Structure 1
């Protein structure tokens, strides 16, 4: 067998039937093996001296497969050639499925031999998949693909490129980029492709504005990715370019960015004139070449305008990208009425936006002011949008946008963007008119920092009350939170910042955000409070250095973690009232939690205490404002709270309402926070745990245990991925920890896998190289899991992962 065989002439580098990759054999007319290649020996294990001269059916065919081989032989004789899949015996006795190409070859003496070329079935399948993917790129892919030679001329494009350029695919062959894109755009694209060709560094998602030669007035945004093509010897063959029209996506992203920028720029103060100038600055040149903002005269004085008022209007802001654009506009401060036959007057009268994409003389635009209209047209003004400034059902004025320098007229998308700008500005203007700066800022801050709706959690049912202090006292700094943790655990938090007002609320927001961040690090309660103490001390130091900020001397906090598997609630407190528990037996008792110092004192440790809570226990966390409301002292407040909790309550909401009615007769002088949680305990049918010895067989045993338990739970569909996850985690624990391993499965909405060991070494996810022998374990876990992470105990660490369960899987009884 030689590489000059005719069968090698059409082979590709990845062709499984290439001479380099395939096994070859020659059979004579009687079916005896007369040729046996080195690749055949490697594939089937038979050395040439063991098979040459022997019948192929005796050496390579299992007796049970003779009928299949006979059928293939008959087809081969009938057609003088054959392609198909056959089982072949390996030297070790196992059956190997091989794809064959058979061809009858005539010898010089007029006899015939059969040339067989084969490769593993899985290699053939992979090759066919690769070919199908390649065909898909050129025939069905919605993303444009172009193949360019070393001279950067097009060799082939797919149908998406043809649709993009509105030319037949064949018309691109032999062209350079400059032959279908306009000048600077073509130069930019060709420079990118040449850099890829010369350096081999790919280009990924590079975006560029461009215009096509056949449609030069339409601006597009394209995303380009490109990589260099090389043959196995390293010879450069050209560049493959992937092109996507992202014009709509770019415009949507730009609109969103403009809205975000406008939201940050407009309304920075409660000054009416400054807000209108911020609106004009945000719109030019982002949307328009010129902008004017006009308010009804009462609005500029802080009064509410009359309904359906048409003026007078005062021009409070005007901007243009070029000074000459201001010549057709009234100056700032000018008081005027719009003529009735103009687009701005129609906008005010009808309380709706007006879009004039193309302006012409006599089109109803400045019809009563022909000289101004003529000057505007002479400056190139060609498109107009007028949008009313309306907030809370009241029209405050209007904003007009003009285009003169950019050729594109205003479109519906521009109108929507202008409406968004105007809507945001109108609200800010109305706020400045109706409220003082201090009251408005404090109210907005309070709304943004208060907790939202608490989500349902499988560990606890919750209900809460938050009542702000009366307005004369000022906004306080109480907060609470319910934070889901790994392993179906949940953190319950209640805190109180010392003082009232905007600074107390701001500090509360920072502490609440810090607690959530620390909670997701799976730290113990005492560690969370220790780090929070450092933060409060830092805030106090910063405020001491500021002349305009009163000092916040500290805060209190209670942090509890409840585990529904063990029923243990671990708690630590920093100067905060201890929690109260109502057991299933109806007995109310305080939980003994060591009283740590308030946050911000510094230098003193906090201590975590644990308490086992029976299923159905009600745990109450609260601020001192609840106990002291109505002039009570702490002991009186605790006694009243316990008596109220002990009363009948069909639901947690009823209990919250009962506490509110009994302990809060009126609007309190201090913020009130109450957080109730009803504990749940996972039954043994939802939890499985095993202690594994640190042995090489631990991973295999773990897989077997997991497979058996998932079958019992009816979760066989998750067995494969779960076995992979558990195998990787147990193997890592055996390899790096060296001690006993605890494996635990939890089933409740998710399938949670936890592997605990005695090591405190922190695992790190990394991207292993192609030649690395290890380092893919955590990467595999991350790919197979919805979430994963690590938490630490006093002398151990636990790596956990979560897999979601479908509704059908959740409904299967454990």
Structure 2
């Protein structure tokens, strides 16, 4: 606007070009008298026009301004323009001068006040002028009475002032529009200048990568989101890290019109730390299917990156264990709906935590947790309310902790997944003097979302595993008896990996004439179906054993039974039934003849320990697993001296990631060498020797072990 009135404003005010030099007949303000300026001042029919000097004092008032605001010129000229702002107008005027006092022009949405005190929403514009020794502004206020105009003005204001660098490029990659945030980045990205093309080379600026990406976007229309890029000023004086998203702008006919780019400056350590927390969450949260461990992973990540203290409280239905079923009684309006699942603090000893992990959490009706649960949205107290009568008044323990630790800001975020509330997480600050901000809430919500999905996956796995394990244990024999000629002992360890509970089983079946049958089997697959199939096979073997069949006949009939059952089931819900096969080894011992006959169906061979303590693998044809329909098995007959021990097992005992079957069987033979102690102790020794040797990790597969010691 320079040192003279713009031509458009001269016409509006009816001022001659030499007006600024005319002598004033009244006290001058900014080198121009009010009478001179008001000579024939008129509005444009829709805007109220007035003038203020550099101090914010009104020096000119048009008829259109009188019509809009209700003030006559004599009532406002030479008075501070803050009277148009209402309330503490002087403070508002000072804030305006501080923000825009150095600008040549500005525009925005403002709420001004009528003479009667009613608010007026206007689009407020100002243009600087100079006249004589002092300066001022020509002001225009346009009422926003039309909804479309209001929307358009608000959108323009939002886009113009949003802290995201936005720019629009045409099909030739020439810049045709940008907002103020983009203008502020021109030092590091000189192509943020109207009319400049990315095809124009500039010294020290390499735009080959974004140019190729934008050309590709024009061709295929696939947007690129949240790509981190680094730019440095051509002279090396400044560097910025930007998170950039690029979209194609299409017309109504679907043809591309240009490209919109959006860039967020993430150079500050705060922004980068927040993004780092979100990235870390995808790596560190949900590494296992253990609910409590997942909750603790979330807590450990949030402190100190986001908060000084965090708790994760989960619904009792999520924590499927015995403690969670022992529901304590509430007192008064408080009910125990959660249990503490995880906690983390930047201070030693967790001085902020009122409850230990595993304890029930009582939620007061007015607490931030209750408010978050009631709305389903986060509840934030950027500055924690510590006034008398607040929500802490009914909880003295928490109130004392808040005061002692200096807690001053908190956020409560519900943990929701698939429409279900799994729990809540509370984040607080005390050592960090900076209160939480809306940006921190965005990070907390992202962290809570990722944790909730991991918790939901863990919950679903835990529920299925618990059901399968209950079914498995219910179908296994509870009182294992071998009869007068055989003493038996057993162990069963469910899998501790994501595969879930399998279908391993064992059994000892007393037969006629004092004989005893022992069997160990392993159904393929994991989960409830495998456990149910195991129960059916165990029942079938008991039935076949009771009619006096030999081991090879039992396995042949079992193979036929599994195949026939699959054929009878046929198709369910349009899907074919998958045949569930199994491996097993079946042996019958006669204490009178001391003969043991055994056969295997694709199963590892038993280990035989003679009375002297020497252990060896039984040379037994492995056969094919049952359920394949071959049904041809061979039996082996052995003489067993009194005091011999026969070890039957599933492959989970001998096979791990570090150890193949052959090495595992040799290891088992070594562990059993010299086995003469009572069978219960021997079972414990075998499990310790085989599973404990790999660091005590959870079993990679189900383990079934059956030891049978012969008597005359």
Is TM (by shorter chain) over 0.5?
A: no
More helix by share: 1
Task: Report the structure number with the largest CA radius of gyration.
Answer: 2
* TM-score, length basis structure 2: 0.35
